[in-house]
Structure 1
């Protein structure tokens, strides 16, 4: 990892609000492609998933989701449950930011995609969570993102099947809107 990226990781934790945001943007942009330094930060990011600061938990989760494409050792297959736990964070904004980025794990490969889909399908079926309709919306958007990435028709079929289970017509219309076109 070059010194500029090391500085970005440092500033994403310790800088002022603007510096943290700029560092966050820099790291997300860098990790949109495969990088050769994923394991230099991997263990620290896993540790930060349970950091006392919810912003740190959120950033760590989003960075890890992005780094899944650089995970040549397939560590994510074992570490994913820790990442998934942050989608249930006590701070809903942290949980939601994590959930909205979780689809990126699925583009790392077929086993990762199957795992992410399995977790999302099970979560979609739950109606005992606060804000479950928003969670469902995010899950369906994740599925749409995965589908748009690799045109896997089984993802679309799964999403439409899940929408078919929804009883409230208002949400059926909203969720179907994600799958238009």
Structure 2
């Protein structure tokens, strides 16, 4: 009896998620995913028109997982947005450390630039959370950049911290093993808080 299409498609993605968690993004190949799913090496092509489409479906699960953690972290709309942003920065670095292969896959430029609507749909809500927190933490001054611009700059900064921390580069140059001062410096540079000290 054959497996329903949706079920096999989901299993291929699940196998890919497990493979990237265990062995990193370089281990992801159509042949290896098919082998571990127990199907022929041509089977994934029936559900994913391209290799990038399969990788994007796997990466989407990373965004879903991160999104669930973010939702739990920032669910309280009455909480201090600066504190929530700081916690979000910590979570982002921790997620990168705990999910190195997935973090790398989630931000592959060929997947993000491609025609992967599902991947953009999964990542968009996370950015909107960041914009909302920035809006609450820093009302847009007259003539100042929009909250989405500030959130974009802050995200780039946080992503850089997470990536450089993974590589060990920041620890070496700033001579510290605590990422917290870097996260605070990033927030302060973008938000210029006046009431948090």
Question: TM-score, normalization: structure 2?
Answer: 0.29
**Which of the two has higher C-alpha Rg?**
2
Question: TM-score, normalization: structure 1?
Answer: 0.31
